[in-house]
Homo-oligomer: A and B are copies of this chain.
Amino acid sequence: MCFIATAPVLLRMVDKASISRYHSKEIVQGERRELSIETFLDSLKYDANGLVTAVVQDYENNEVLMVAFMNREAVRRTLESGRTCFWSRSRQQFWVKGETSGHIQVVKGVYVDCDKDALLVKVEQTGAACHENYRSCFFRLVDADGNETVVSERLTDS
């Protein structure tokens, strides 16, 4: 929606153009903070394990696809490469989404929350975001009694 992140330069250009379509000039001018990448990374509030929460959302229909975690370097790689990069808590290593599955996420916009401890990453998702081959990891609805119902269909690779 907001920018194409295949290259930093292109990203910056498209970003500015799309903001002006959605928002008043006053707001954009009045509340823009020109930071370096290092200053931005320093400004995030990492938890005791050095992580921020990353919510990944489909940039077209706003479906929430998954939640994962990023450390400082994963945030940098995501911003600079235009592909989502996470920190795997279980494997203790970087994890570029789609590297093995081909189900890549092209970054379209990165948003930071008020507390600076969470990022919202809008992406163009190829195939399933979920390792169980659902489009979204949130494929089970829970009712007030704790009953779970699968409410999505598994994708088939063809």
Report the minimal beta-carbon distance from A9 to chain B, rounded to whole angstroms: 8
Q: A73 an interface residue at 8 Å Cβ cutoff? A: no
Contact of A66 (CB < 8 Å), options: B113, B145, B153: B113
Interface size on A, residues (CB 8 A): 68
Report the minimal beta-carbon distance from A121 to chain B, rounded to whole angstroms: 10
Residue of B whose beta carbon sits closest to that of A142: B110
Q: Report the separation of the CA atoms of residues A57 and B8 in the bound assembly, to the nearest whole angstrom.
A: 29
- Copies of this chain, complex-wide, total 2
The answer on a CB contact under 8 Å between A130 and B144 is: no
Cβ contacts A41-85/B at 8 Å (1 or 0 each): 100000000000101010001111011000000000001101000
Q: A102 an interface residue at 8 Å Cβ cutoff? A: no
Q: A91 an interface residue at 8 Å Cβ cutoff? A: no
Contact of A115 (CB < 8 Å), options: B5, B113, B137: B137
Q: Report the separation of the CA atoms of residues A140 and B63 in the bound assembly, to the nearest whole angstrom.
A: 19
The answer on a CB contact under 8 Å between A22 and B151 is: yes
Residues of B within 8 A of A131 (CB): 114
The answer on a CB contact under 8 Å between B142 and A27 is: no
The answer on a CB contact under 8 Å between A137 and B153 is: no
Report the minimal beta-carbon distance from A133 to chain B, rounded to whole angstroms: 10
A:79-107 near B, CB below 8 Å? 79-80, 82
10 examples of A-B residue contacts, CB within 8 angstroms = A5-B144, A22-B151, A31-B150, A35-B145, A35-B146, A53-B67, A110-B143, A111-B141, A112-B138, A113-B138
